[in-house]
Amino acid sequence: MRVTLETKPRKKPKIPIEAENIIPQNFLRGMDITVYEGNKERRLEDLFYIAVEGPAVSPDQVEVILKGDTGVIKRVGEYMNAGRIVVEGDIGMHCGNFMSAGEILIRGNAESWLGREMRGGTIRCLGNTGHYCAAGYRGEKRGMRGGKVEVMGNAGDYAAEYLSGGEVIIRGSTGDMPGIEMRGGTLVIGGTCTRPGANMTGGTCIVLGNAARIIPTFAAAGIRELTWEDRSYAVQVYNGDMANRGGKGTLLVRRE
């Protein structure tokens, strides 16, 4: 089943839409779904032109396509456990919150907290993403625990904060402090970043561009060869963060 949701013109297009109900498993039960526009509860057809093609018997056969002015839609794919969501443009904050399986493809940019505390599945963003990509929300002690997030462009600050499992790949650059408080999993940064891996206790953070201001509580542990996606790099190994008791994280930074 393919569900296409195209946004209708709105009087106040800047008011965000809270759409935690836009997940494939909900569409199996029909289109009787509500979302919030600001603080008003709306039916899905009030805000979207809906087109449905084909049948589905299980949620993994459902594909949801979002089109139009989608940059103000938040929380798409929250608690998603199967199926596929394709966003033809930008997407708002908290896309893929807590998702456990399935796939989200974003052709534009994603706002902050993409894949917040996600448990499994795949998110692919072809543009840039905001701050706290694949992180935990404020106060949480664990961020993403499983699955894969891939960002083709750049990410903001605090990417993969509290990462505990799974894989985060940012092909562009990140802002300040990617991989802060990491406990496990893998973070790969293709471009540049500053202060990676601060306070990490586990996991692996790989910087294939240039890492500025590596914090002094990391212990340099030699140079080694690293093969990633069929290319090999010479990387400087750091262990840390030594400010933590049992800081067993690994930070690998490509040598010039």
Partner 1 sequence: MTELLIRNAYVIDPINDIRGEIMDIPIREGKIVEEVSDRAPVIDAEGYLTLPGGIDSHSHVCGTKVNFGRYMSPEDMRAGRTARKGRMHVTSGYSVPTTFGNSYRYSAMGYTMVLEGAMAPLEARHTHEEFTATPHQDMMANTLFDGNWSIMEAVLDKDVKRAAAVVAWILNAVKGFAIKLTNPGGTEAWGWGEDLAGIHDEVPHFGVTPAEIIGTMIRANELLHLPHSVHLHCNNLGVPGNHRTTLETIALAPDLNPKRQSLYLTHVQFHSYGGTTWRDIDSRSEEVTKAVNAKPQVVMDMGQIMFGRTTTMTADGPMEFKLYMLHHNKWSNHDVELETGSGIIPVYYTRKSLVNCIMWAIGLELALLTKNPWQCILATDNPNGAPFVKYPEIIALLMSKKFREQEGALLDPRTEHHVPLFAIDRELDWYEIAVMTRAAQAKALGIQDLGRGHLAPGALADVAIYPMKTDQLDPATQFQQVIAGFARTRYTIKRGRVVARDGEVVVDGANSTIWVRPKVPPEYDLSRDPEFVKKFEQYYTVRMRNYPVQDTYLPRGICIETEADL
What is the identity of the amino acid at 119? R
Query: Closest Cα partner for 164 from 116, 112, 206, 203?
Result: 203
**Whose CA is closest to 117, among 146, 82, 91, 93?**
146
Min dist CB 179 to partner 1, Å, is 19
The least CB distance from residue 201 to partner 1, in Å, is 9
Indicate whether 40 belongs to the interface with partner 1 (CB under 8 A). no
Query: How far is it, in rounded angstroms, from Cα 120 to Cα 168?
Result: 12
Cβ neighbours around 205 below 10 Å, total: 28
Looking at beta carbons only, is 48 or 113 nearer to partner 1? 113
Report in angstroms how near the CB of residue 214 gets to partner 1 at its nearest.
24
Nearer to partner 1, 11 or 138 (CB): 138
Smallest gap, in angstroms, from Cβ of residue 138 to partner 1?
4
Of the candidates 73, 9, 68, 78, the one whose C-alpha atom is nearest the C-alpha of residue 36 is: 73
From first CA to last CA, the distance across the chain in angstroms is 50
Residue 112 Cβ vs partner 1, minimum distance, rounded to whole Å: 16
CB of 136 within 8 A of CB of 155?
no
From the list 12, 245, 255, 256, which residue makes contact with partner 1 (rule: CB under 8 A)?
Answer: 245
Give 30 or 139: the residue with its C-beta nearer to partner 1.
139
Nearer to partner 1, 74 or 84 (CB): 74
Site size with partner 1, rule: CB under 8 A: 6
What is the DSSP pairing of strand 40-43 with strand 73-74? unpaired
Nearest-approach distance from CB 82 to partner 1, in angstroms? 26
Cα 18 to Cα 22: distance, rounded to the nearest angstrom:
9
Q: Of the candidates 87, 80, 93, which has an alpha carbon nearest to the alpha carbon of residue 156?
A: 93
Cis peptide before 241 (omega within 30 of 0): yes
Site for partner 1 in 120-179 (CB under 8 A): 137-141
Positions touching partner 1 (CB under 8 A) are 137-141, 245
